[in-house]
Amino acid sequence: MGTCHAVVPGDPPLVVESNSEGRTRLPSGAATALLLAVLLWASNAIAIKVVLREIDPLTLTWLRYAIACALYAPYALVLRRSAVPYSRRERWLLLAGGITVVPIFNLTLYYALSFTTAANASLVRLTEPAWVLLLAALLFGERARPRQLAGLGLALAGTLALVLLGRRAGGGERHVLGMVLMVANSFAWIAYILCSKDLIRHRNAMLVTAHVSLIGAGVLAVTTGVSHAPAVTAAALRLSPTGWALVLYLAVAVTVGSNLLFSFGLKRLTAGAASAYAYLIPICTALLAWLVLGEPITALLVTCGLIISAGVYLVNRA
């Protein structure tokens, strides 16, 4: 979807390959899949910013998930008979996950990218493990280790510096609003992970993703269809061929393809090895934004990125 995926418990054991000298190495297929997923996630913000020059965030959400659901629906139907039925509690989790990941997650991301740079937004997404740690302490009374607290402090300090000084890193007039929306976007993703982690533990992860996306798209259609369908249709008809190509890319390659690639890599690596690739996303995003959009790579952006990365590393290592 578009950006870094949190990893749920219950990951398979690390699979290794041996070369002719008897040394072990990570499976090349898994590494390639994860690197491709990183590139897709990094390109997500770039493609979104280009498409938003032609259409508004709500129209993009509609179009992206209409196409994605056209792919997810047949897949869900084929596996319908063999799938384990959901309990009442699980159906509520599916509904909550759909609401958080389709309307809330996508709209906060798209509006945020209207107000700040792709690289700034990507760095905020990198802080999600720190927010999880903070929420666990506040809501569930979980005790954090000293190293985790140090990492939390670094991640929050880097984010605060980026919010307050980010206009110097290429942010626009409404940069602060964009960063606040990105923090809300991160919390929406965390809420989605919390809703889906139990469902994914004993089920096909892609099938759960399909169900969540279909439900979320349904909620979006019900809540905005009557008032916004004519405007969305008119905007879609005015969309240029380049705009349609990017919408298709976002729906097929980023929304569906990145999930398949990440699932493939995760089955062959531990959660820690797979999640380490997330550190590459802000770097790739900043480089793509510089090449495609002309967004500057400033000293402030690099410094805040290093501080946030160090903090998240400490949170994850502890």
Q: How many Å apart are CA 158 and CA 318, to the nearest integer? A: 19
Grouped pLDDT means (10 residues each) for the chain, 318 residues: 39 36 55 88 95 95 93 91 87 94 95 92 86 76 82 88 71 80 91 81 82 94 89 92 96 87 73 70 92 90 90 80
Cα–Cα dist 86/199, whole Å: 9
Report pLDDT for 2.
44
CA–CA dist 119, 45 (Å, integer): 8
CA atoms 264, 270, 273, 278: torsion sign: positive
Q: What is the DSSP string of 5-52?
A: PP--S-PPPPP-EE-TTS-EE--HHHHHHHHHHHHHHHHHHHHHHHHT
- Residue 79 is given by DSSP the state T
Supply the pTM of this predicted model.
Answer: 0.82
| pLDDT for residue 74 | 94
**In this predicted structure, what is the pLDDT of residue 259?**
77
Q: What are phi and psi of 21, to 5 degrees?
A: -95, 5
In the chain, which ranges are E strands? Answer: 17-18, 24-25
Region of 2 on the Ramachandran plot (φ > 0 left; ψ -120 to 50 alpha; else beta): beta
pLDDT of residue 20: 44
pLDDT at 176: 87
**Quick one: pLDDT at residue 14?**
31
